[in-house]
């Protein structure tokens, strides 16, 4: 990223950058949920989700 692009993003109003922050939170939460499912599947086997 060039310094001009960095300065452009840094100078955007706060209302515009809140959406990026919210999206980042959703990505992190989704990754954590996916990681939990993977670890549960590794530690307890694939039968844990079948009722």
Alpha-carbon torsion 26, 27, 30, 31, what sign? negative
In the chain, the largest separation of any two C-alpha atoms, in whole Å, equals 55
Output the pLDDT for position 51: 64
Output the pLDDT for position 27: 97
Q: Is residue 2 part of a domain?
A: no
Output the pLDDT for position 26: 97
Domain membership of residue 42 as a residue range: 14-49
How does pLDDT run across 1-51, given as a tens digit for each residue?
899 999 998 898 888 888 888 999 999 999 999 999 999 888 888 777 676
Q: Is residue 33 part of a domain?
A: yes
| CA 18/CA 21 separation, integer angstroms | 5
Q: Is residue 4 part of a domain?
A: no
**What pTM was computed for the model?**
0.60
């Amino acid at each position: 990223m060039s310094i001009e692009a960095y300065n452009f993003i840094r100078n955007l109003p706060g209302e515009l950058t809140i959406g990026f922050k919210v999206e980042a939170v959703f990505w992190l939460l989704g990754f954590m949920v996916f990681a939990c499912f993977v670890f549960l599947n590794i530690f307890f086997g694939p039968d844990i989700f079948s009722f």
